[in-house]
Amino acid sequence: MSRIGKQPIPIPAGVKARVENGKVYVEGPKGAKLEVAYHSNMSVALDEKTKTINVARPDDERQNRALHGLTRALIANMVEGVTKGFEKRLIIEGIGYQARMDADKKSVVLTVGFANQIVMTPPEGVTVEVGDPQGKQLKPTDAGTLIIVRGADKQKVGQYAAEIRASKPPEPYKGKGIRYDKEQVRRKEGKSFSSSS
């Protein structure tokens, strides 16, 4: 049996869940709603007594073993997303490199060494905040070097954070660019010009 797939998914208090027509619907106490369509080979059952969701597979074929753990992980991420939410932090490094929120406070505007600024609008259900890595309070008009991406959908949060990072990945010599918080950037040594006699 799959070690992850066989574990029941507990439903915390205040979370509503239902399984119907090949989909799992989860609604959180803060109003976040998520849904996922699972593979037809998997069977998902909601146990009202124990307040858990159980995922089962028909046999031990390779594809079904993989789908078992995947389906369970996707549903568990939805439950965690509507209760705690997910967060990704990105740090901008480089002289003059910065981020700020646009006038509508919805999109993030990046100034990362190009002729034009890059405007990135988050998908529905994802919020962005620009701050200071040292925790200093920024005025709404100020620019910062820390970008915090939050949301209930783990896939959307991760994808949007990856798109921000891809707009200016860190370069290996000085480390300038956008990287994840606590990401180790491999550094290279620059060319050394030795004087030849």
Mean of pLDDT values over 19-38: 90
Q: What is the pLDDT of residue 137?
A: 62
CB atoms within 10 A of CB 77: 19
Burial class, 166, CB count within 10 angstroms (exposed 0-12 / middle 13-18 / buried 19+):
exposed
Mean of pLDDT values over 30-54: 91
Residue 196, pLDDT above cutoff 60: no
3-class state of residue 49 by DSSP: coil
Q: What does the alpha-carbon distance between residue 145 and residue 93 come to, in Å, rounded to a whole number?
A: 7
N-to-C CA span, the chain: 70
Architecture (CATH level 2) of domain 86-180: Alpha-Beta Complex (3.90)
Contact 92, 98 (CB under 8 A): yes
Dig out the tokens for 37 from the structure: 């369509």
Provide the b/e sequence for 132-141 (b: ≥16 CB within 10 Å). Answer: eeeeeeeeee
Q: What does the alpha-carbon distance between residue 132 and residue 111 come to, in Å, rounded to a whole number?
A: 15
Under the banding of pLDDT at 50, 70 and 90, the label for residue 2 is low
Domain 9-83 identical in fold to domain 86-180: yes
Residue 194, CA distances (Å) to 173, 174, 191 in order: 19, 21, 9
Dig out the tokens for 80 from the structure: 């965690």
Considering only residues 119 and 134, tell me which one the structure prediction assigns the higher pLDDT: 119
Mean of pLDDT values over 139-152: 80
Contact 138, 131 (CB under 8 A): yes
Q: Name the pTM for this structure.
A: 0.85
Q: How many CA atoms lie within 13 A of 75 on its CB side?
A: 35
Architecture (CATH level 2) of domain 9-83: Alpha-Beta Complex (3.90)
Q: How do the domains of the chain map onto residue ranges?
A: 9-83, 86-180
Residue 145, pLDDT above cutoff 90: no
Question: Mean pLDDT across the chain, nearest whole number?
Answer: 87
Under the banding of pLDDT at 50, 70 and 90, the label for residue 135 is low
Mean of pLDDT values over 163-189: 88
Q: What does the alpha-carbon distance between residue 19 and residue 44 come to, in Å, rounded to a whole number?
A: 7
Under the banding of pLDDT at 50, 70 and 90, the label for residue 31 is confident
Dig out the tokens for 144 from the structure: 């910062």
Mean of pLDDT values over 102-131: 89
